[in-house]
Amino acid sequence: MTRGDQAVETAADKLETVVKEAQRSGGVKAKVGAALADDPEFLRKLKPSLIAARAKGESPAVEPPPRAPSSPQLTRPAPKKRDGGGPSPWLVAGAAFAVGYVVAKVIDWRGHAHPRR
């Protein structure tokens, strides 16, 4: 194992411990830990000796490419339900348009009170 491989391995080990500690702590750290859970495994695939072997064609890729499903996928995923996260975007856009229209009319009306010469 070369020095580069050892450096990558130690970085992956450190990242793995950070991820495990974050997942144990809960809260926002747990969400970040869940997002980084696959990173140590990916980092180990980036060892310089493995990259060089793959570039020369001596070593196959670590994972085979994903296979297509053998039959058609007939079911559609269920649409996401709104969880009451706020008003409709169309309502917000309409309200913004109406407020902008009223403000423009007020500015125009006040412009006639003080004309420029």
In a domain, 52, yes or no: yes
Contact (CB, 8 A) for 61 and 45: no
Range of the domain at 97: 87-117
Which value, in Å, is the radius of gyration of the alpha carbons in the chain? 29
List pLDDT tens digits, range 61-115: 556 667 777 777 777 777 777 666 788 889 999 999 999 999 999 888 777 766 6
Q: Do 57 and 99 fall within a single domain?
A: no
Residue 7 in 3-state DSSP?
Answer: helix
Specify whether 2 is located in the same domain as 57: yes
Q: Whole-model pTM above 0.75?
A: no
64-91: string of b/e by CB count within 10 Å (b at 16+)?
eeeeeeeeeeeeeeeeeeeeeeeeeeee
Number of domains in the chain: 2
Count CB-CB contacts under 10 A for residue 57. Answer: 7
pLDDT per position as a tens digit, 3-20: 999 999 999 999 999 999
